[in-house]
Each structure stands twice: as structure tokens, then as C-alpha cells.
């Protein structure tokens, strides 16, 4: 309920070192049932519908059903996230379907360099942070 | 009850949290820590890739000053923030963030965040300070840099921080527990950087069933920063300055793009525009009613007056705005193409950061180019990084702060060695995601400087103290275990209260007595005093919280954190005898702005040893001497 798991598709991430949805849920909601080896949302009324469990699931077993206390039934919003973009399929209650694709990042996954290529040698005493002043595009950090 | 292992971790700088401020702190601290041979450790209650308020993504960066292109000055930003907060802001803190924030935004772009560009290669602005982004993976990208800088071995995920370890007025670090295995954690540190977000679900949410989780700000922000700093004995500020966002009704989809980028109007059910029709009301709010842009809380207030007058629903006129822009694009073909573009932009705005709103639109067959959508005021939240201001009272930077606001290290609270960033530091609103990252960096550098210069001794925590903290932390598990078989239904048991009902008790009293949604955001001295009475009972009963497992143990402590945020709020609203932010709360017994007596900060302090609260005023001091318009604007 807000996020729910299709038991046909969920394999408990048994081939992986961790259960993906359980690993990622920011609110500690997704949990693996050790008996059935299927994941479930243990506290649906604390779900933000952030979709992180949906996006990360390797078998696309997780989906979201709009909050039952105010959302009319029948719609679905389904993402397909790749390494550089995300495709959304929005299905309306009246059957209309819309698709949208947006970029999500411009660099290869895992490659973010903390210094961003800037090489400064600021002092521990002044206001300049480790990439400054170059990362500001200014000759010096502004002061009064 | 099962045995819990105790894990002690020694470090130099301890970063608490994993959101924008904490990841900013991580990249900065990693650099300076390496230079000075210091160890840096980060503890997050979730997974850093998707933790904090940006976990879902964002469709805009709300603070970019544009210093390199001369678009704005630091002073411009300070003026904007001070005006929006009705004159109550720490100019030195806002200026410090404003002079660094562009640097963080430029880093995000290098790390891989797609920022919209115009034909000339410049950033596309949503508004004066806001940039449009493809932000689905905003947090993932920022977390990646933090993890690459710090190293996975220095990051603890799924460890919930309960509170500070104190020795008198000295903070020795933090304690908490794993929500995955039976382990109690003791982190000993020479300096601690608090960045555990703001607080949601202190007030009753509008959505009452399954949709309770659909607060505007995420439900996992549960007041840990406030609890930590209060319990460390730190002075707190602006605890009355809650934030109530007006958003698309029920699912709380963002309105920024609609108001700023698409220039949409908001009207009542009869087509009247409250911002036009109720303009004279602005004259009642001193200089702040005259500034541009009109402060967020005053805009809220004018809309609320329409609702109170029975003129709702209030609508965002999406169809009108989209058609107008499309028509301006040229001939029919160009207009059609523009319409398609705007439609995608409108949906991305939701899909990037509030997917629920996309579901709600689809489920209600809403096409924004054809039909208006309702907007409404949400419930109150504590979020010092946005248009609220609650947080710890921290030192300003040496080169900007008036001497009364400077005590050695920027962003350090009044407790030595305890630094704060993001929602944890107060009176420095409008830092949003980017400014919180920048403030995390400022705080981390200052904390490392503190360790290098002050050379604090390695903290020693006595074994007896560790055992006492452990017993206190795990008490809800022990209580539940002891009494769970006393009845046939584990939820109904006279010996304990489970965290869910405890949370509802807190929310009900805050809603009804401290000006929540059902009280039309209105309160008074008698109501607040009654609320205090009920809070006292709740506090006593917090000793009887019961938890069946680790997840519920976390919920117990989250709600204790919320309860302290609630008490700080009620006491401060009670102390400030005026109404200054009518669109955030209204004191019916003091319904007017009172510049003579209340143009000041209200600060508070809890004595952790005695439990006594102290309430007091602090003067608002200005950083910029030159502007004559200052006086006009409430200076």
C-alpha cells in the first residue's frame, strides 16, 4: 500500500548480498519476510511514496498504489530508471497513457570526484572552502 | 530480552546525519581531515544514497546567488531572507551561506547533476534565486561525492542516533543503536557536527489514514537535531518560527515552477485573486507588508483569509498559465510544440520530487493544460533550512559577524565542539538543499579548525555511563518484553504505550492547542498553557514507551525527539506576545505585530541536569551598515 510488492516477481534478492528495497528505504519500511522470502511494506501509513524501492528493485516487483484515504483508484505511475535517464509511464484513471523521459545525470555512475577538478590550496584559517575560490568563479571569497 | 552488543567507535570529527548538510560536511571534512591527519566518521539512520529531505529528488535548486556573473550580491540575498522572515534573521549566517552556495552548485554540476541551460549556456532560472534541474538523482550524485571523499569504512548506515553523550557541559560524542542488528553504539569524538534534519509529524497531518506519510517534508525527519542540541544544553533560537507551505492540495506537489516559471495566478472559487483583493491587509504588517517579494507567510495568510471567508477551494490556474505561454510562442504549430514542452515540464516537476502528486493527477484525470488544481496550506513543520527558522543558536564567521554573534568558530553552538548545519542551525532560513550543503561544508571546516587549534583531549566515557545510556536506550524493548503477555492483545496494555499512539497523542494536543490545521493555525495563552499541561503528562508517559522490535524502538525515540521539539515550540510561542508571522501562526490574544517589544530573537535553553527551561530575548544586530532602506524594512 503505498508501495506494494508483487509476490510473483519478488525473489527476495536472494542472488544479491542485500535486499535492495530494504537497503534503500529512507524510512526503514521495506522488510524481507524470512519465511516467504518476499519483501513487504510494514508501515504503509509512514510511506512518503518516494519510489526509491520501486526504482531500485532488480525484478521490478515493487509498485505504488496511491494513498487509499484520498486518491481515487485506477491510476499508476511507473518508472524505469537507467544509469543516465528515467522513463515514466503515467496511466490515468480514464485509461489515457502518457510517457515522459528525463535525464538523471551527466557523468558515469560512481565517478563523482569530490574536488570537481579544482585544485586550490586554501588555508585552514580563512573562509575559503576546499575548492575555493576557483569553484566560485571569483578571484576570492567575498567578505565585508 | 535478547543481549545487545556494545560497539565503541573513536573518531575525531563525528558527522551526524546523511542529508544535504551532512554530505556537504563529509566532502569538506574529508579534505581538511586528511591534511591534518584527523579521522572523520559519518552516521546515517538510513542509506546515504537516498536519505534526508532530498531522498526522492528535487526539480529545482532554490538557492543560487550567481555571484560570478554579477547577477546578485550577497547583500541582495540577505535582504530577501530578512524580509521574508519579518525582520528576524541572522544576517551574518545568511551572508556566510550566500557567499559559498554557488561553489556547492558548481560542484553538483561537475559531479553530474543536470542543470537546465539556455541557448547561451547559462543556467535556466525558475525565479531570481532558483535554478531548474533534472533532479531525480540529485541526492545520489551528491552522496556519491561524499562517499568517494570519506571512504565507505568511515560511514555507518542504519544507525539511529538517540542523543549526545555529555560530561557536565562537555559533549563527548553520541550514542544510538543499529536498526538492523542488536548493537548499541557509542561514538566518541573531539567534535560533533549535527545535521539530522528538521521535524515532521509534530502536528497532526491533514491526511489521516494511509496518507499520513504524505507530509510535504519527509516523515523520517523527526526532530533528532533539536533533541540532540537541546540535550547538549545548547541555546536554541526561533523555535516559534515553524513553516507552513502552501502546495497542491493533499499530495503537496511543488508550486514554485507554477508561480515563478509559468507565472500562474491563484484564485478562489469565484475567480477572485486574494493577492489582489486582500492587498490592503498587507498594511497591517508593518514594513514587511510592503517588501517585494511579499513574505511567504503573508501570502499564506491572504489565502487563509479567503478560506476562512468560505471562498474556497483555492485554485492554481494551471490551464490559464500554460495556454498563455503557448499562445505567446507564435503560430499554431509553434504554440502546439510549446504546449507539449510545458506539459512535460509540468509533469517532471512532480515526478522529480513529489510522485504522489502525479498519481493524484492521473487518478483524478487532471491534465494541467485543461484544468485548474486545488492548492492548500499544509500542516506546520520545523525546517530552518526553508522559510521556517528553528534551530540552534550558532556562532557567525569572524569576518562577518557582529562581536556578540561570534564565539570562535562559525556554526558552533553555545556548547563547545558541537557544530550545526542545515535544519539544525537556526535563524538562517532559505538555505534549502544547496545552501544546506554549503553550510555543512562551512561547519565541517570550522569543526576541523576547532580540533586543530583547541586540541581537545580524546574523550573518555566511563563504562558505567555506557551501561546507563544503553539501559535507557533499550528500555522500551525491556518494558514491552516484560508486560507483553499481560493482555491478549499487545496493542492494548495498561503497562505501556506503543509509539504510534504516543505520536497521535502528541499530534492531537499540538493540533488543538498550539495552532494546527483544525485550529486554523490560531492559538492563545490559555490554549498554550493547556497544551503544556498535556505535554507534561505525555512526557511522564514517555517513560512507559514500549517497542516490539528495533524498528519500533526507533519510532519510540523519534517520538521522544518530536516531543522535545513540541515543547520548545509551545514555550516559545507562549513567550513571544505578538503575532509576527500570521500565515504560520496567529496569537488571538496578541493579534498584532509589535515592533517595539518583539523585534528580537526569542531564544531558549534547557538545563539537561535539572530539566528547567530558560526563555529570553536576543537583539537583532545588522551586518550591513550602509543601507538606509534598512530602517524602512524593519531594521
Give catalytic status of residue B613 as yes or no.
no
Lowest-pLDDT choice from A9-18, B469-478, B577-586: A9-18
Shortest CA gap A16–chain B (Å): 17
List chain A domain ranges: 1-71, 72-109, 113-144
Task: pLDDT band for B630, please (50, 70, 90 cuts).
Answer: very low
| pLDDT one-digit tens code per residue, B353-362 | 999 999 999 9
Residue range B593-603: mean pLDDT, rounded: 97
CATH class of the domain defined by B472-599: mainly alpha
Looking at the structure, give the CATH architecture of the domain made up of residues B5-116+129-242+381-454.
3-Layer(bba) Sandwich (3.50)
Query: Which A positions 21-40 lie with beta carbon below 8 A of chain B?
Result: 23-28, 31
The reply to whether the predicted model has a pTM over 0.90 is yes
Shortest CA gap B493–chain A (Å): 21
Residue range B378-401: mean pLDDT, rounded: 97
A66, A105, A114: residue with CB nearest B149:
A114
d(CA B512, CA B554): 26
Identify the H or E element spanning B506: helix B499-513
A26/B51 Cβ within 8 A: yes
B30/A49 Cβ within 8 A: no
* SS3 at position B184: strand
B400/A102 Cβ within 8 A: no
Give catalytic status of residue B614 as yes or no.
no
Please pick, among B154, B300, B429, B433, the residue that the annotation labels catalytic: B433
| pLDDT one-digit tens code per residue, B74-101 | 999 999 999 999 999 999 999 999 999 9
List chain B domain ranges: 5-116+129-242+381-454, 250-377, 472-599
pLDDT surpasses 80 at A41:
yes
What residues does B132 pair with on adjacent strands?
B60
Q: Which of B265, B278, B231 is nearest to B16 (CA)?
A: B231
The residues of A that are catalytic are 48
Looking at the structure, give the CATH architecture of the domain made up of residues B250-377.
Alpha-Beta Complex (3.90)
**pLDDT the model gives residue B477:** 98
Give catalytic status of residue B580 as yes or no.
no
**pLDDT the model gives residue B2:** 81
pLDDT surpasses 70 at A96:
yes
**pLDDT the model gives residue B231:** 98
Interface predicted TM-score (ipTM) over 0.90: yes
* SS3 at position B373: strand
**pLDDT the model gives residue B635:** 41
| pLDDT one-digit tens code per residue, B328-383 | 988 899 989 998 999 999 999 999 999 999 999 999 999 999 999 999 999 999 99
pLDDT surpasses 60 at B632:
no
**Please, are residues B120 and A121 in contact by the beta-carbon 8 Å criterion?**
no
Task: Let me know if B398 is exposed, middle or buried by CB neighbors in 10 A (0-12, 13-18, 19+).
Answer: middle
| pLDDT one-digit tens code per residue, B256-288 | 889 988 999 999 999 999 999 999 999 999 999
- The overall average pLDDT reported for chain B is 96
Q: Is A111 on the interface with B (CB under 8 A)?
A: yes
- The overall average pLDDT reported for chain A is 96
- Candidates B91, B102, B136, B191, partner chain A, best to mutate (most A CBs within 10 A): B136
**pLDDT the model gives residue B625:** 64
Residue B279 C-beta-side C-alpha neighbours within 13 Å: 7
Give catalytic status of residue B472 as yes or no.
no
**pLDDT the model gives residue B222:** 98
B99/A141 Cβ within 8 A: yes
Please pick, among B129, B216, B285, B557, the residue that the annotation labels catalytic: B216
Size of interface A-B (CB pairs under 8 A): 248
Contacts of B28 in chain A (CB under 8 A): 129-130
- What is the separation of C-alpha B80 from the centre of its chain, rounded to a whole number of angstroms? 19
Contacts of B499 in chain A (CB under 8 A): none
Shortest CA gap A46–chain B (Å): 4
Q: CATH number of the domain at A1-71, out of 3.30.70.20, 3.30.70.890, 3.40.50.720, 1.20.120.530? A: 3.30.70.20
**pLDDT the model gives residue B634:** 45
Residue range A56-67: mean pLDDT, rounded: 97
**Please, are residues B13 and B38 in contact by the beta-carbon 8 Å criterion?**
yes
Contacts of A127 in chain B (CB under 8 A): 96, 99-100, 397, 399
**pLDDT the model gives residue A15:** 87
Q: Is A77 on the interface with B (CB under 8 A)?
A: yes
pLDDT surpasses 60 at A127:
yes
pLDDT surpasses 90 at B624:
no
Cell of B524: 492563545
Shortest CA gap A8–chain B (Å): 24
Task: pLDDT band for B137, please (50, 70, 90 cuts).
Answer: very high
**Please, are residues B507 and B553 in contact by the beta-carbon 8 Å criterion?**
no
A52, A94, A114: residue with CB nearest B148:
A114
DSSP B185-227: EEEE-SEEEE----B-SSSPPS--SGGGG--SS-TT-BSHHHH
**pLDDT the model gives residue A120:** 86
pLDDT surpasses 50 at B326:
yes
A142/B449 Cβ within 8 A: no
| pLDDT one-digit tens code per residue, B163-185 | 999 999 999 999 999 999 999 99
**pLDDT the model gives residue B195:** 98
Share of chain A above pLDDT 90, in %: 92
Amino acid at each position: 500500500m503505498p508501495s506494494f510488492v508483487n509476490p510473483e516477481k519478488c525473489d527476495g534478492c536472494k542472488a544479491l548480498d542485500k535486499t535492495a528495497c530494504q537497503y534503500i528505504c529512507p524510512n526503514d519500511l521495506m522488510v524481507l519476510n524470512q519465511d516467504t522470502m518476499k519483501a513487504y511494506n510494514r508501515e504503509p501509513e509512514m510511506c512518503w511514496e518516494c519510489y526509491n524501492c520501486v526504482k531500485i528493485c532488480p525484478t521490478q516487483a515493487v509498485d505504488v498504489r496511491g494513498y487509499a484515504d484520498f486518491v481515487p483508484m485506477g491510476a499508476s505511475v511507473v518508472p524505469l530508471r537507467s544509469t543516465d535517464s528515467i522513463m515514466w509511464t503515467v496511466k490515468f484513471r480514464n485509461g489515457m497513457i502518457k510517457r515522459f523521459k528525463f535525464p538523471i545525470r551527466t557523468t558515469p555512475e560512481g565517478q563523482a570526484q569530490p574536488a570537481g577538478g579544482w585544485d586550490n590550496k586554501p588555508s585552514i584559517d580563512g573562509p575559503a572552502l576546499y575548492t575555493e575560490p576557483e569553484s566560485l568563479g571569483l578571484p576570492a571569497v567575498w567578505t565585508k | 530480552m535478547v543481549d545487545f552488543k556494545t560497539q565503541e567507535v573513536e573518531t575525531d570529527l563525528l558527522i551526524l546525519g546523511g542529508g544535504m548538510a551532512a554530505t556537504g560536511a563529509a566532502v569538506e571534512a574529508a579534505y581538511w581531515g586528511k591534511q591534518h591527519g584527523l579521522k572523520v566518521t559519518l552516521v546515517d539512520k538510513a542509506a546515504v544514497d537516498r536519505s534526508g529531505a532530498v531522498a526522492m529528488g528535487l526539480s529545482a535548486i532554490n538557492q543560487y546567488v550567481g555571484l560570478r556573473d554579477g547577477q546578485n550580491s550577497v547583500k541582495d540575498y540577505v535582504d530577501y531572507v530578512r524580509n521574508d522572515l519579518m525582520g528576524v534573521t541572522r544576517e551574518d549566517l545568511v551572508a556566510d551561506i550566500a557567499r559559498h552556495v554557488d561553489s556547492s552548485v558548481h560542484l553538483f554540476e561537475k559531479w553530474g547533476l543536470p542543470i537546465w541551460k539556455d541557448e547561451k549556456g547559462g543556467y535556466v532560472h525558475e525565479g531570481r534565486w532558483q535554478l531548474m534541474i533534472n533532479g531525480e538523482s540529485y541526492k545520489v550524485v551528491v552522496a556519491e561525492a561524499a562517499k568517494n571523499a570519506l571512504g565507505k569504512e568511515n560511514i555507518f548506515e542504519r544507525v539511529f542516533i538517540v542523543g549526545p553523550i555529555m560530561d557536565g557541559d562537555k559533549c563527548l560524542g553520541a550514542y544510538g543503536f543499529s536498526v538492523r542488528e542488536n548493537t548499541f553504539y557509542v561514538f566518541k569524538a573531539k567534535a560533533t557536527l549535527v545535521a539530522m534534519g528538521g521535524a515532521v509529524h509534530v502536528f497532526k497531518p491533514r491526511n489521516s489514514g494511509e496518507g499520513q506519510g504524505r507530509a510535504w517534508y519527509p516523515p523520517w525527519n523527526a526532530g533528532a537535531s533539536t533533541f540532540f542540541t537541546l540535550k547538549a544544553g545548547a541555546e536554541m533560537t526561533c523555535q516559534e518560527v515553524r513553516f507552513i507551505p502552501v502546495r497542491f492540495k493533499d499530495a503537496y506537489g511543488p508550486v514554485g515552477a507554477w508561480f515563478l516559471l509559468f507565472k500562474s495566478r491563484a484564485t478562489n472559487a469565484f475567480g477572485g485573486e486574494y493577492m489582489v483583493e486582500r492587498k490592503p491587509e498587507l498594511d497591517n504588517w508593518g514594513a514587511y507588508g510592503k517588501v517585494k517579494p511579499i513574505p511567504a507567510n503573508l501570502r499564506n495568510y491572504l489565502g487563509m483569509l479567503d478560506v476562512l471567508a468560505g471562498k474556497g477551494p483555492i485554485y492554481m490556474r494551471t490551464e490559464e498559465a500554460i495556454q498563455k505561454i503557448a499562445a505567446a510562442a507564435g503560430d499554431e504549430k509553434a504554440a502546439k510544440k510549446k504546449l507539449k514542452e510545458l506539459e512535460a515540464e509540468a509533469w517532471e516537476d512532480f515526478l522529480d520530487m513529489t510522485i504522489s502528486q502525479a498519481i493524484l493527477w492521473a487518478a483524478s484525470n487532471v491534465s494541467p493544460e485543461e484544468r485548474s488544481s486545488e492548492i492548500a496550506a499544509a500542516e506546520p513543520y520545523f525546517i530552518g533550512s526553508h522559510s521556517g527558522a528553528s534551530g540552534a543558536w550558532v556562532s557567525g564567521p569572524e569576518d562577518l559577524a557582529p562581536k556578540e554573534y561570534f564565539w570562535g568558530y562559525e556554526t558552533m553552538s553555545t556548547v563547545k565542539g558541537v557544530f550545526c548545519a542545515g535544519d539544525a542551525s537556526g535563524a538562517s532560513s532559505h538555505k534549502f538543499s544547496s545552501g544546506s550543503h554549503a553550510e555543512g561544508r562551512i561547519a565541517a571546516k570550522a569543526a576541523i579548525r576547532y580540533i586543530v587549534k583547541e586540541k581537545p583531549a580524546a574523550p573518555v566515557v566511563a563504562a558505567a555511563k555506557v551501561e546507563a545510556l544503553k539501559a535507557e536506550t533499550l528500555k522500551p524493548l525491556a518494558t514491552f518484553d516484560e508486560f507483553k503477555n499481560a493482555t491478549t492483545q499487545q496493542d492494548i496494555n495498561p503497562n505501556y504505550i506503543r509509539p504510534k499512539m504516543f505520536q497521535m497523542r502528541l499530534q492531537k494536543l499540538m493540533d488543538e492547542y498550539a495552532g494546527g490545521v483544525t485550529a486554523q493555525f490560531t492559538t492563545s495563552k490559555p490554549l498554550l498553557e493547556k497544551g503544556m499541561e498535556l505535554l507534561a503528562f505525555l512526557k511522564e508517559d514517555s517513560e512507559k514507551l514500549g517497542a516490539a522490535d528495533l524498528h519500533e524502538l526507533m519510532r519510540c525515540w523519534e517520538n521522544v525527539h518530536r516531543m522535545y521539539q513540541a515543547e520548545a515550540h509551545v514555550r516559545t510561542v507562549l513567550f513571544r506576545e505578538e503575532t509576527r508571522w500570521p500565515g504560520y501562526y496567529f496569537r488571538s490574544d496578541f493579534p498584532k505585530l509589535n515592533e517595539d517589544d518583539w523585534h528580537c530573537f526569542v531564544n531558549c535553553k534547557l538545563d539537561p541536569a535539572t530539566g528547567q527551561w530558560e526563555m529570553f530575548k536576543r537583539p537583532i544586530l545588522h551586518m550591513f551598515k550602509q543601507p538606509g532602506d534598512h530602517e524602512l524594512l524593519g531594521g
